[in-house]
């Protein structure tokens, strides 16, 4: 019989620590008379200790009962955060947090037409197919401004006839049409708007005050609207995590071990008082990893949201190029080229043509900001540059990097 088998039989199979206890016939015999006397002494000692513990326990229990009765004779003793204003109708802090914060979270659905060609025409595949994607959002204002991730609404940005819909948890059958107000692809934040009144905006917490180990509750729609309003509990596992996303952007995020799944993107992560500390946006997926979700800190979210809303009526400038979306940062790097946006064509008379930009150029920076993808280049131009403003554009051509100046139209 090996050690593991002995542990399994002598202890509970869930034991994690091996101890040198002796049981029955396995005990070492050091002399029968000594064992007998020692055994008698041990029995007497256990009886004395048992009686003493019983008496002490009874006295202590009586004292505790009397003391607790002096202060509260009807309520269950609970450790509540005073900011939550929890009453006895709640059985836990998490229940109260969910009750407070869930009305500020919504479901988002994107329906976009996508061209679909088939190698087998006899299958009668339609020329167009409707692609449906779903995510989460957080109510920012009572009159209908909603915060979500850019990647949640990305398909709607890329499709001119896409439909964006919002569903509140109070009535998931009530589909509300939404308009895209603005987005920052580099920050993975977008603002959409529905026509509504008296919504429940989320309450913000200062994300700079967040500490590792504090309560973290994620609210959203994992796997889509079918599981709308799901709540998962965990802690804050880390702060200021540098995570590089698929679009080539490195972000500074909050880490949590609360369950995060596809569909939670754009949803809320709140603290122990139900206040927003971040917007869920990513998760590390690997067979070796478990419980590593990430969120954009609430301070950054609020700053970007206010900026995007302030520019909603501002005319958006254009550069006048068509981009080749096949070349990702990884592909360009494999060819020994810098990350950037490959120019597929340049419109005649456009700011790009006047600046000397040509087909095949790789735009690596605009106004000093890196442009690892087409969506980020578009965000920089829309959000940071005004019409008729002259901006420096860094391009890579034939193994050399140069900077040109374009006056955006």
pLDDT at 123 over 60: no
CATH (residue range 100-117+124-194): 2.40.10.10
Residue 363's pLDDT band (cuts 50, 70, 90):
very high
Query: Domain 207-309 is in which class?
Result: mainly beta
CATH (residue range 321-407): 2.30.42.10
Comparing 100-117+124-194 with 321-407, is the CATH topology the same? no
pLDDT at 284 over 50: yes
Report pLDDT digits (tens) over 140-185.
Answer: 999 999 999 999 999 898 877 889 999 999 888 899 999 999 999 9
Between the ranges 97-101, 123-127, 286-290, 373-377, where is the mean pLDDT highest? Answer: 97-101
Share of the chain above pLDDT 70, in %: 74
Active site residues: 151, 188, 265
Beta bridge partners of 297: 278
Q: Is the pTM of this model over 0.85?
A: no
Summary mean pLDDT of the chain: 79
- Taking residues 124-131, what's their average pLDDT? 59
Q: How many CB atoms lie within 10 A of CB 227?
A: 14
Query: What ranges do the domains of the chain cover?
Result: 100-117+124-194, 207-309, 321-407
């Amino acid at each position: 019989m090996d050690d593991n088998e002995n542990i399994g039989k002598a202890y509970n199979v869930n034991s994690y620590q091996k101890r040198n206890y002796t049981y029955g016939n396995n005990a070492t015999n050091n002399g029968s008379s000594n064992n007998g006397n020692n055994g008698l002494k041990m029995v007497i000692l256990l009886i004395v200790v048992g009686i003493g513990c019983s008496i002490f326990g009874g006295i202590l229990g009586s004292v505790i009962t009397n003391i607790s009765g002096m202060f509260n004779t009807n309520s269950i003793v609970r450790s509540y955060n005073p900011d939550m204003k929890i009453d006895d109708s709640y059985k836990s802090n998490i229940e109260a947090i969910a009750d407070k914060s869930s009305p500020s979270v919504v479901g988002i659905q994107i329906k976009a037409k996508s061209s679909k060609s088939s190698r087998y025409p006899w299958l009668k595949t339609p020329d167009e197919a409707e692609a449906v994607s779903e995510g989460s959002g957080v109510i920012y204002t009572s009159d209908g401004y909603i915060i979500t991730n850019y990647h949640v609404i990305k398909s709607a940005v890329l499709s001119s006839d896409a439909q964006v819909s919002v569903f509140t948890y109070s009535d998931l059958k009530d589909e509300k049409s939404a308009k895209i107000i603005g987005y920052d692809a580099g920050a993975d934040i977008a603002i959409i708007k529905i026509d509504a009144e008296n919504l429940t905006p989320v309450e913000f917490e200062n994300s700079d005050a967040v500490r590792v180990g504090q309560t973290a509750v994620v609210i959203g729609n994992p796997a889509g609207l079918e599981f709308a309003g799901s709540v998962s509990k965990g802690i804050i596992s880390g702060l200021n995590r540098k995570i590089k996303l698929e679009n080539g952007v490195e972000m500074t995020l909050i880490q949590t071990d609360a369950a995060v799944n596809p569909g939670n993107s754009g949803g809320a992560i709140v603290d122990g008082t139900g206040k927003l500390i971040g917007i869920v946006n990513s998760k590390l997926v690997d067979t070796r990893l478990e419980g590593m979700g990430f969120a954009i800190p609430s301070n950054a979210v609020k700053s970007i949201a206010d900026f995007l809303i302030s520019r909603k009526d501002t005319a958006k400038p254009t550069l006048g190029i068509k981009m080749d979306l096949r070349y990702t940062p990884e592909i360009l790097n494999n060819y020994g080229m810098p990350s950037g946006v490959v120019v597929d064509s340049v419109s005649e008379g456009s700011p790009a043509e006047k600046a000397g930009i040509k087909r095949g150029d790789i735009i690596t920076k605009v106004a000093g900001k890196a442009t690892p993808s087409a969506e980020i280049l578009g965000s920089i131009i829309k959000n940071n540059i005004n019409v008729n403003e002259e901006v420096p554009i860094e391009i890579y051509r034939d193994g050399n990097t140069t900077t040109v100046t374009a006056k955006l139209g």
